[in-house]
């Protein structure tokens, strides 16, 4: 519903002043979104201080063999991943839209009643108006916040993909390292089992052993070959996966480096997850967008200007040939009489409440994930350290016993070979524990959101 008012005899300067007042009212900041608070009870923790610059060197490529550390593989894979480029372009698109968000509407220039008399070319009458639709109160800042939220949402999509992708690359790297070690252990086992069969065949010929011992040894050799081949198949698959991630045809090898245990406490990792997990950042952005949309819906129920139109008129069509000039200001109002927009307003408020509930649920879920991953990692770490310490002493004693036995000709060589096989059993057990520890470390880094650091 539109109401037009007419005010005459305004000077142009007064028109400009009135228009400026209406523009200031439209841009007035009565809307301030609140960002959902992240718990601050924990001590601030900055993962940047934990960066290791010793691995900053470029990858080494020697005779079609690519030697990389785990961190270098992650960086290289991310730099070659097309999906990262696609998501980055989506961020650029959202940033471009942000630059146009919250802009003032363009005015409409109207020229009417352009008349002359007796075709003499002399202007007798003209009306010039500038019609403009002002934004509602802080509509522009709300639109800007919606555009900012869209940028942040696109960033969270990129962060989420990078973290999951980095975890896949890291798992492929640790699998390659651990499977290579296991294959080396089984190569030694196969060599010893083959030697044991040769000794048994000689002893059977001398009547010192039975064919039962030989059959058991042959079965163990068969089993060792099967296990070794299975590990080799797994290794081939993981190398193919890593080569696909890296977009390379080279033979990828992971440089052996001493693993650094995760030194952060559980609370520090939870705080890092608050800062780096994209799920919380996504809900925060959604909440800012919901607040802005809720504000816009509320403003639709407030009477406001539908248009402002300052006009200039000139008319010399009178018998005294006197020129009359005057100004007018036409104003239109939107009156929310039939539609108070209550449904959309209520829906907007419910969306804000939903975001708050979702934020709290996600926060609790992230804490549980970090806690569970941390406990699993610590349990395996303690077990691995204990086994490593005990095994080192046992293997050293066993090696000495084997050396002493080889110097004594009366010692049965089968017993010496069996002891060597038992040493390999211990080494395999340690390798499998290291494999589980590496996987637990990656799961913990992913849960804390520091997988890419």
- Closest to 369 in 3D by CA, of 379, 361, 358: 361
- pLDDT for the residue 177: 93
- Closest to 288 in 3D by CA, of 149, 152, 157: 149
pLDDT in tens, 140-197: 899 999 999 999 999 999 999 999 999 999 999 999 999 999 999 999 999 999 999 9
CA dihedral sign, ordered 269, 270, 271, 274: positive
- Per-residue pLDDT at 47 exceeds 70: no
Whether domain 31-103+135-301+340-448 has CATH 1.20.1300.10: no
Distances (CA, A) of 393 to 224, 228, 258: 26, 27, 20
User: Three-state SS across 243-305?
Assistant: HHHHCCCCEEEECCCCCCCCCCCHHHHHHHHHHHCHHHHHHHHHHHHHHHHHHHHHHCCCCEE
Unique residue bearing structure tokens 């990692």:
377
Q: Please give the average per-residue pLDDT across 414-435, as a whole number.
A: 90
Reading across the β-sheet that carries 123-131, which strands appear in turn? 108-116, 123-131, 304-315, 324-334
- pLDDT for the residue 318: 64
- Per-residue pLDDT at 380 exceeds 90: yes
- Closest to 264 in 3D by CA, of 280, 278, 275: 275
Strand 60-62 and strand 324-334: the pairing is unpaired
pLDDT in tens, 80-128: 999 999 999 999 999 999 999 988 889 999 888 776 665 555 767 888 8
Q: Are 435 and 32 in contact (CB under 8 A)?
A: no
From 215-219, 350-354, 403-407, the region with the lowest mean pLDDT: 403-407
- Per-residue pLDDT at 5 exceeds 60: no
Split at pLDDT 50, 70, 90, the class of 9 is very low
- pLDDT for the residue 56: 40
* 187-193 own/partner pairs: CB under 8 Å, 24+ apart: 187/228, 188/424, 189/224, 189/228, 189/421, 189/424, 190/221, 190/224, 190/225, 190/228, 192/417, 192/420, 192/421, 192/424, 193/217, 193/220, 193/221, 193/224, 193/421
- pLDDT for the residue 25: 60
Averaged confidence pLDDT in the chain: 84
- Per-residue pLDDT at 55 exceeds 50: no
- Per-residue pLDDT at 53 exceeds 80: no
- pLDDT for the residue 258: 64
pTM, two decimals, is 0.79
- pLDDT for the residue 1: 41
Dihedrals phi, psi of 375, to nearest 5 degrees: -65, -40
- pLDDT for the residue 57: 42
Split at pLDDT 50, 70, 90, the class of 412 is confident
Q: Please give the average per-residue pLDDT across 225-250, as a whole number.
A: 94
User: How far apart are the C-alpha atoms of 78 and 56, rounded to whole Å?
Assistant: 15
For 446, residues 6+ apart whose C-beta sits below 8 A from its C-beta are 163, 164, 167, 373
- pLDDT for the residue 283: 95
Instruction: Write out the H or E segment, with its range, that includes residue 218.
Output: helix 211-246
Q: Are 254 and 426 in contact (CB under 8 A)?
A: no
């Amino acid at each position: 519903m539109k109401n037009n008012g007419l005010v005459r005899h305004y000077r142009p300067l007064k028109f400009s002043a009135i228009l400026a007042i209406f523009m200031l009212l439209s841009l007035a900041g009565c809307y301030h979104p609140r960002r959902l608070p992240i718990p601050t009870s924990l001590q601030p923790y900055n993962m940047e201080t934990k960066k290791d610059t010793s691995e900053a060197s470029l990858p080494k490529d020697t005779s079609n063999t690519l030697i990389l550390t785990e961190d270098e593989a992650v960086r290289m894979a991310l730099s070659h991943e097309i999906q990262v480029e696609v998501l980055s372009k989506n961020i650029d698109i959202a940033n471009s839209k942000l630059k146009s968000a919250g802009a003032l509407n363009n005015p409409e220039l109207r020229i009417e009643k352009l008349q002359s008399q007796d075709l003499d070319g002399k202007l007798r009458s003209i009306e010039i108006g500038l019609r403009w639709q002002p934004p509602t109160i802080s509509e522009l800042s709300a639109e800007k916040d919606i555009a900012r939220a869209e940028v942040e949402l696109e960033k969270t999509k990129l962060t989420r993909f990078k973290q999951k992708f980095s975890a896949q690359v890291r798992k492929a790297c640790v699998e390659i390292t651990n499977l290579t070690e296991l294959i080396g252990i089984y190569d030694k086992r196969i060599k010893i089992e083959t030697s044991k069969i040769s000794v048994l065949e000689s002893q059977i010929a001398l009547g010192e052993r039975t064919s039962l011992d030989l059959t058991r040894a042959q079965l163990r050799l068969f089993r060792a070959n099967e296990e070794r081949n299975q590990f080799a198949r797994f290794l081939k698959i993981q190398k193919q996966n890593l080569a696909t991630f890296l977009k390379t045809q080279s033979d990828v090898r992971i440089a052996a480096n001493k693993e650094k245990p995760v030194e952060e406490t559980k609370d520090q990792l939870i705080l890092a997850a608050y800062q780096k997990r994209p799920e919380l950042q996504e809900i925060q952005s959604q909440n800012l967008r919901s607040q802005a949309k809720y504000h816009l819906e509320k403003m639709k129920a407030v009477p406001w200007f539908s248009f402002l139109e300052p006009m200039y008129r000139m008319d010399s069509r009178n018998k005294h040939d006197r020129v009359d000039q005057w100004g007018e200001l036409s104003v239109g109002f939107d009156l929310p009489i039939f539609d108070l927009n209550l449904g959309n307003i209520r829906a907007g408020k419910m969306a804000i409440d939903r975001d708050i509930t979702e934020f709290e649920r996600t926060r609790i879920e992230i804490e549980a994930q970090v806690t569970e991953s941390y406990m699993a990692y610590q349990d395996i770490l303690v077990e691995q350290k204990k086994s490593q310490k005990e095994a080192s002493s046992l293997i050293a004693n066993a090696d000495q016993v084997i050396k002493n036995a080889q110097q004594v000709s009366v010692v049965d060589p089968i017993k010496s070979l069996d002891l060597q096989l038992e040493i390999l059993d211990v080494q395999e057990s340690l390798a499998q524990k290291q494999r589980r520890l590496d996987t637990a470390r990656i799961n913990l880094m992913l849960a804390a959101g520091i997988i890419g650091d």
